[in-house]
Amino acid sequence: MALQLGQVAPDFEADTTEGRIRFHEWLGNSWGVIFSHPKDFTPVCTTELGYTAKLKPEFDRRGVKVIGLSVDTLDRHEGWNADIAETQGTAVNFPMISDPDKAVSNLYGMIHPEADAAVTVRTVFVIDPNKKIRLMLVYPPSTGRNFDEVLRVIDSLQTTDRHKVATPVNWQPGDKAIVLASLSDEDARKQFPQGFTAEKPYLRWVDINQNKA
């Protein structure tokens, strides 16, 4: 059965460039991003891995662990990492799963029937500390992923979990949020003593950055 949002991310054991791991144990109480690559020494993924490595301080600040996956072997991973450091200016600073038997790739539905059965497609999963899948993105092989958007979604997920709000289109940290439609005005006043603005009965804006009274 296909994985769905809110489902517990499947656990697995695998060899990585930083040793053998059990995924849930490795994740611990952190948020996690697992993302797959068609195979080693591919041009688009070379740029993605380098950029993600540059973003590691941003992921660390949000309490997020990043792990990559390719169906190639560890020795090829090491050779590819050297190319990434050379061409992108940053060495890969997170583990890369070696999945030559495609056990993890198939467990997470990363190999699609319409794609080459020998490779994974560009899939991204964001997983919360309860091990639940909170985001799934699937990109075609020719299109590089937007990891700034992955960070933005993590910011939104962490904000909505913390404040029980929703975030509007193109939301960025610091922007106003939306009061949940399931919350009555009375309950919203209790939840947000700083007040909120009702543009429509179903569209209520709240500044979660204000200090609560």
170 CB contacts (<8 Å, ≥6 apart)? none
Which residue in 62, 101, 79, 60 sits closest to 17, CA to CA? 79
What is the strand order of the sheet 197-200 is part of?
A: 165-166, 177-179, 203-206, 197-200
Question: Any idea which residue has 């009061």 for tokens?
Answer: 179
In the set 27, 45, 104, 179, the catalytic residue is 45
Integer Cα distance of 111 and 118 in angstroms: 8
The alpha carbon of residue 109 and the mean position of all alpha carbons in its chain are separated, in whole angstroms, by 16
**Does residue 45 have an active-site annotation?**
yes
- Name residue 64's beta-bridge partners: 31
Backbone conformation region of residue 88, classed left if phi is above 0, alpha if psi is from -120 to 50, else beta: alpha
Among the listed residues 89, 128, 108, the one whose alpha carbon sits nearest the alpha carbon of residue 35: 108
Say if residues 208 and 159 touch (Cβ distance below 8 Å): yes
Tally of residues, the chain: 213
Catalytic machinery residues: 45
